[in-house]
Amino acid sequence: NAGVTQTPKFQVLKTGQSMTLQCAQDMNHEYMSWYRQDPGMGLRLIHYSVGAGITDQGEVPNGYNVSRSTTEDFPLRLLSAAPSQTSVYFCASTPMSGGSYEQYFGPGTRLTVT
């Protein structure tokens, strides 16, 4: 299994540009989520999904959109990038069956908005 994969690893955007951060998992996990990590702030939840077709907002959802059309993929869209969205973005997945709810993280995407 590849686990949780994220692309791209690095990205530089100009203010106002849009882009999609890709996240995929091959473990058939129902739950997927996006976090951002900023110095001094720790990791904060952006959006999450408990299954295909179901998404919900986390702690810091403004400026981001998500959709979940398949169990495997959970892309994060920035519609109009702002410098405040410069951060490291992590995607995670969790099995909802089995009871452990252990979370598995991808390697991250480093985004710079100028």
Partner 1 sequence: KQEVTQIPAALSVPEGENLVLNCSFTDSAIYNLQWFRQDPGKGLTSLLLIQSSQREQTSGRLNASLDKSSGRSTLYIAASQPGDSATYLCAVNGANSKLTFGKGITLSVRP
**Binding-site ranges for partner 1 (CB under 8 A):** 31, 33, 35, 40-45, 48, 50, 56, 58, 90, 92, 94, 96, 99-108
- Residue 36 tokens read as 């951002």
For partner 1, the closer CB: 14 or 62: 62
For partner 1, the closer CB: 45 or 52: 45
Distance of closest approach, residue 51 Cβ to partner 1, in angstroms:
12
Distance of closest approach, residue 43 Cβ to partner 1, in angstroms:
4
For partner 1, the closer CB: 16 or 38: 38
Length of the chain measured in residues: 114
What's the CA gap between 109 and 36, in Å, rounded? 9
Distance of closest approach, residue 81 Cβ to partner 1, in angstroms:
22
Distance of closest approach, residue 108 Cβ to partner 1, in angstroms:
5
For partner 1, the closer CB: 26 or 82: 26
Are the C-beta atoms of 24 and 4 separated by less than 8 Å?
yes
What's the CA gap between 114 and 4, in Å, rounded? 28
Across 2-108, where does the E strand assignment appear? 4-7, 10-13, 19-25, 31-38, 42-51, 54-57, 64-66, 76-78, 87-94, 104-105
